[in-house]
Amino acid sequence: MRRLAAFLVLIVAVAAGAYGVTRYVNSRQPPEDQWTWLRREFELTPAQLARIQALHAAYAPVCADHCSRIMAAQTRLTALIQAGRQDTPEYRAVLDQWEAVRRECNAATLRQLQAVAAAMEPAEGRRYLAMMEPRVATRDHLGPLGVR
């Protein structure tokens, strides 16, 4: 019975060791390039990858515009807070502006995801959306100056 118990301990130790070594070896591999990962993960053809890269390139200026508008609103909000003017109509107006930009950004990001998904095979596109959309939607908990 003791030999059986010792053997079971050995089995668990071997399994745990193999698990640990595999995780360690894999964690030391260099991170993949974003496009390499996207192509491999969603089995993109060269044509699909080129189409998606073009979509991203077209979206980059829109994204940059949204970024600058968000940062401008955040800067104004920070300045108003530092001046102790949080209860003023001006602060509420900038906050409303920030909220409008946030909604616009969210909608644009989701549209971009759907456009990219449409460039993939239907099944892969659905998997892509299922993987990416929750990561955008979870940003609803953000406030203008950090976590709400």
Partner 1 sequence: MNDRDPELSRVLKSWPHQPAPAPRFNAEVWARIEAARTAPWSAAAVIARAFGIPAQHFRWVLPLGASIALALAALAGAGAGLLQTAHARTDRMAAAYVRTIDPLQMTAGPQP
Q: Which residues bind partner 1 (CB under 8 A)?
A: 4, 7, 10-12, 14-23, 26-27, 31-32, 34, 37-38, 41, 56, 59, 63, 66-67, 70-71, 74, 102, 105-106, 108-109, 112-113, 131-132, 135-136, 139, 142, 146
Output 89 or 146, the one with its CB closest to partner 1. Answer: 146
Output 57 or 87, the one with its CB closest to partner 1. Answer: 57
> How far apart are CB 143 and partner 1 at their closest, in Å?
10
Output 28 or 87, the one with its CB closest to partner 1. Answer: 28
> How far apart are CB 105 and partner 1 at their closest, in Å?
5
Structure tokens that stand for 42 in this block: 């969603």
Output 46 or 146, the one with its CB closest to partner 1. Answer: 146
**CA angle centred on 106, ends 31 and 72, rounded to 5°:** 95
Q: What angle in degrees, to the nearest 10, is found between the helix axes of 122-137 and 89-118? A: 160
> How far apart are CB 98 and partner 1 at their closest, in Å?
11
> How far apart are CB 14 and partner 1 at their closest, in Å?
5
- Look up residue 71 and give its amino acid: M
How far is it, in rounded angstroms, from Cα 20 to Cα 31?
Answer: 19
Per-residue burial over 57-79, b if 16 or more Cβ lie within 10 Å, else e, is eebeeeeeebeebbeebbebbee
> How far apart are CB 87 and partner 1 at their closest, in Å?
25
Q: State the DSSP code for 143.
A: E
- DSSP per-residue letters across 30-81: PPPPHHHHHHHHTT--HHHHHHHHHHHHHHHHHHHHHHHHHHHHHHHHHHHH
Output 14 or 83, the one with its CB closest to partner 1. Answer: 14
